[in-house]
């Protein structure tokens, strides 16, 4: 679906000069060379594929940037304005475009974004069974409230997506609700998940976690809620609310390890309450999704790779 | 001689009636197009307010309801599907003017040009102001019919 948003010559390079399966990210900055994350490393994009800065790297201008965003929005900026206000657009195929530009503010509220300066096109990759090892410890017979922790870019979202898929493959029907605040887990496009999140899964997209948890529990009566990137007190309040309702939670948060996690505002309290019963730590050591370990609610290791 | 006079009389009255009919149907078609543009504006305002479909979905779903505008709207959808840059110039080249006056045609092009280029609040404002201009033009067209 990348051909839907990029100019033909760029699509041609990505699809025919490179192995598209290994293209993870395309970074496009106004008046600067295009950078591609190819197989986990960054390269300059040139007409022959990838190379160094002096290998004829392709430079973009603001017009091309605007055209890409306009296409990504299906020529309907009003339909993506809520996403745009949060600096991203989700496109068919689960592709997400992070956007930088100048915020348009009216009455102290963000109205839109203009004068786009750069964007990052993130191409999702489903890695089936990437969460299988941890699944045995967090959800196989009994679902434990679990927190997946890692620094950015280590595969937390891919992991959560795979957990949702694995839950649907179990012998018991466990209704799963994904609160997909930024369209990262299921990447719904026109209401249809673009990535495999299993057949017992409902998805609420584009809403904050507190609203999603409260309304989702009332409306859908899920057995388990999966959500991404717990970051602030409101997110943690949502988790506490869900736990109080007897709904299991599998979520993720940015942190290097448990020490780092405890130091994050609000998390010390939730850890003291032992709300989370399992912690899965991921890293990028041997590529995204490298297991560092699975821990219980007192951070005792229960699985070491 | 009388026969020639009869023929020319019939030709003149027939021709006059034909021209009159043509002129009248021109005004009727123009009035119908203006009426459809106003209805289209109303429908788009509703769609953008509540369901926010993409411009293509919004127009494709409604093509059957706008017989006089269908070909212009199809041409516009083609432009979108071919990923062409939507500008006043591109639209002027692609959209047929038909029986619309120059003013009406430019206004219609402006309507198509603003579609999808801003947030829903601004879209509604833009479409409403163009619709109001078309309401005046439609009133004049009705009187001319």
* Architecture of the domain delimited by A2-122: 2-Layer Sandwich (3.30)
**Helix, strand, coil % over all residues of chain A, rounded to 5:** 30, 35, 35
- With a cut of 70, list the residues of chain A below it in pLDDT: none
Of the partner residues A76, A81, A111, the one whose CB lies closest to the CB of residue B54: A76
B16: pLDDT confidence band, cut at 50, 70 and 90? low
Exposure b/e, A205-232, CB count within 10 A at least 16 = b: beeebbebbeebbeeeebbbbbbbbbbe
The C-alpha of B111 sits at a distance from chain A's nearest C-alpha, in angstroms, of 14
Q: Indicate whether this complex's ipTM tops 0.85.
A: no
Q: What pLDDT, on the 0 to 100 scale, is given for residue A51?
A: 87
Of the partner residues A67, A74, A77, the one whose CB lies closest to the CB of residue B117: A77
The C-alpha of B58 sits at a distance from chain A's nearest C-alpha, in angstroms, of 10
What are the CA-CA distances from residue A142 to residues A170, A173, A278, B113 (Å)?
11, 12, 12, 56
Per CATH, the number for A132-303 is: 3.40.50.300
3-state secondary structure of A136: helix
How do strand A146-150 and strand A248-254 relate by DSSP bridges?
A: parallel
Interface with B, mutate which of A75, A90, A107 (most B CBs under 10 A): A75
B2: pLDDT confidence band, cut at 50, 70 and 90? low
Alpha helix stretches (DSSP H) within A182-223: 209-220
A-B contacts (CB, under 8 Å): 43
B142: pLDDT confidence band, cut at 50, 70 and 90? confident
Domain assignments of chain A as residue spans, ordered by start: 2-122, 132-303
Contacts of B86 in chain A (CB under 8 A): 75
Examine the pLDDT at B22 and tell me if it is beyond 70.
no
Taking an 8 Å cut-off on Cβ atoms, the answer to whether A75 and B115 are in contact is yes
DSSP assignment of A252-271, as one string? EEE-SSHHHHHTSTTHHHHH
> CB-based contact (8 Å) between B117 and chain A?
yes
Contact A62, A76 (CB under 8 A): no
Of the partner residues A73, A75, A78, the one whose CB lies closest to the CB of residue B48: A78
Taking an 8 Å cut-off on Cβ atoms, the answer to whether A75 and B56 are in contact is yes
Q: What pLDDT, on the 0 to 100 scale, is given for residue B17?
A: 60
B20: pLDDT confidence band, cut at 50, 70 and 90? low
Closest-CA residue of B relative to A63 is B85
Examine the pLDDT at B85 and tell me if it is beyond 90.
no
B101: pLDDT confidence band, cut at 50, 70 and 90? very high
Q: What pLDDT, on the 0 to 100 scale, is given for residue B14?
A: 66
- Interface residue ranges in chain A relative to chain B, Cβ cutoff 8 Å: 67, 70-71, 73-79, 81, 111-112
């Amino acid at each position: 679906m990348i051909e839907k948003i990029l100019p033909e010559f760029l699509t041609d390079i990505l699809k025919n000069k490179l192995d598209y399966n290994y293209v993870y990210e395309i970074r496009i900055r106004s008046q600067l060379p295009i950078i591609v994350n190819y197989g986990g490393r960054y390269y300059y994009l040139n007409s022959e594929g990838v190379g160094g800065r002096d290998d004829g790297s392709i430079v973009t201008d603001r017009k091309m940037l605007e055209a890409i965003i306009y296409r990504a929005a299906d020529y309907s900026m009003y339909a993506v304005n809520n996403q745009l206000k949060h600096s991203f657009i989700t496109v068919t195929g689960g592709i997400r475009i992070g956007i930088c530009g100048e915020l348009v503010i009216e009455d102290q509220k963000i109205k839109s974004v203009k004068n786009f300066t750069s964007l990052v096109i993130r191409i999702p990759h489903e890695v089936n069974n990437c969460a299988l090892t941890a699944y045995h410890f967090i959800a196989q017979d009994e679902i434990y409230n679990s927190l997946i922790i890692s620094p950015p870019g280590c595969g937390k979202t891919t992991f959560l997506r795979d957990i949702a898929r694995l839950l649907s493959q179990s012998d018991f029907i466990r209704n799963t609700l994904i609160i997909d605040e930024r369209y990262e887990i299921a990447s719904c496009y026109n209401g249809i998940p673009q990535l495999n999140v299993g057949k017992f899964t409902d998805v609420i997209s584009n809403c904050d976690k507190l609203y999603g948890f409260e309304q989702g529990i009332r409306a859908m009566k899920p057995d388990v809620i999966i959500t991404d990137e717990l970051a602030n007190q409101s997110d943690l309040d949502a988790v506490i609310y869900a736990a109080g309702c007897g709904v299991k939670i599998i979520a993720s948060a940015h942190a290097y390890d448990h020490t780092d996690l405890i130091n994050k505002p609000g998390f010390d309290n939730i850890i003291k309450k032992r709300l989370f019963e399992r912690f899965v730590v991921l890293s990028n050591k041997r590529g995204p999704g490298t297991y560092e370990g699975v821990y219980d609610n007192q951070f005792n290791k229960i699985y070491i790779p | 001689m009388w026969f020639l006079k009869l023929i020319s009389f019939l030709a003149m009255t027939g021709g006059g009636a034909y021209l009159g009919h043509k002129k009248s149907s021109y005004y009727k078609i123009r009035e119908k197009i203006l009426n459809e543009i106003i209805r289209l504006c109303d429908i788009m305002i509703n769609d953008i307010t509540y369901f926010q479909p993409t411009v293509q979905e919004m127009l494709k779903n409604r093509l059957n309801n706008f017989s006089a505008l269908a070909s212009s709207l199809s041409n516009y959808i083609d432009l979108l599907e071919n990923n062409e840059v939507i500008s006043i110039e591109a639209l002027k080249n692609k959209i047929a003017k038909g029986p619309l006056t120059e003013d009406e045609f430019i206004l219609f092009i402006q309507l198509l040009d603003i579609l999808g280029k801003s947030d829903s609040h601004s879209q509604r404002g833009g479409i409403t102001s163009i619709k109001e201009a078309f309401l005046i033009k439609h009133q004049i067209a009705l009187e001319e019919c």
